[in-house]
Amino acid sequence: MNLSLAGKHAVVCGASQGIGRDCALALAELGASVTVLARNEQALAEVVASLSKGDGQSHELLAVDFADPTRVGLAIKARVRSAPAQILVNNTGGPPEGPAHSAMSEEYLAAFTKHLLCNQVLVQALLPGMKAAGYGRIINIISVSVKEPIPGLGVSHTVRGAVASWAKTLARELGPDRITVNNVLPGFTDTARLHALIASKAKRMGVSDEEVMAQMRAQVPLGRFAEPRETAQVVAFLASPAASYVNGINLPVDGGRTLSL
């Protein structure tokens, strides 16, 4: 099985922590040069320092705020001008919790900007390099809520669904150029965001965090939360030559929690 990413350049968003960080690590382990994006420059520097550095690998960081697509676009265009990229991992922290009906219009706009508009800007910047290489992998880390809505995450569900439809459209448009577009749908994953959601739910219910975690684990056939690296390994596979015929899918990485097919 050919998993080698030697000679490839990967751009990984939201790479300062959690799933994004572990995606950067996994791609570098397979031989890719990696550019990591997020707001926190110090955290990104620590990630870059921890990446595997074999022959021909060169890692960089771009400290950018996804609330400003224009700045994201300028930063990535400058980077790929000298180092075209063939792999893009779109990954951004989820919107605040709350029901859909009570969310302000500004919350929806902020979510679409960070998740969909920035994704579009990044794709447009990287497409020339992908087409020239005859190799492209666009992987969007979204959520199992694309298949089954999670109560209390109304804005998140809305924008995740939009990203999934956007990706499916791109998969058909870009397939002839040997560029695949796929979505990875994490379930309960042991990240800072999950623990923040657990704490908020526990406070609303008047119970302990441990009780909420036990209820959540009971929904997962494997009986535990995922480690970020477990999702990252799926992303790394989809980025590799071995996944050359996988295109336009929504792939849950949820321990069997999703009930739908």
Say which amino acid occupies 208.
S
| pTM recorded for the entire structure | 0.95
Query: CA distances (Å), 216 to each of 46, 97, 144, 171, 200, in order?
Result: 32, 17, 14, 33, 14
Q: CA 97 to CA 243: how far, in whole Å? A: 34
Q: Kind of pairing, strands 87-90 and 136-141?
A: parallel
Q: CA 236 to CA 234: how far, in whole Å? A: 5
CATH superfamily name and code, 9-187+227-253: NAD(P)-binding Rossmann-like Domain (3.40.50.720)
Place of tokens 């676009």: 73
Find the helix packing angle between 154-174 and 118-133, rounded to 10°.
20
Q: CA 172 to CA 249: how far, in whole Å? A: 11
Interior/surface letters 189-214, b for 16+ CB within 10 angstroms, e for the rest:
bebeebeebbebbbeeeeeeeeebbe
Q: Where exactly does CATH 3.40.50.720 map onto the chain?
A: 9-187+227-253
pLDDT in tens, the chain (261 residues): 999 999 999 999 999 999 999 999 999 999 999 999 999 999 999 999 999 899 999 999 999 999 999 999 999 999 999 999 999 999 998 888 889 999 999 999 999 999 999 999 999 999 999 999 999 999 999 999 899 888 888 998 899 999 999 999 999 999 999 999 999 999 999 998 888 888 888 888 899 999 989 999 999 999 999 999 999 999 999 999 999 999 999 999 999 999 988
Residues β-bridged to residue 121: none
Place of tokens 């390994």: 233
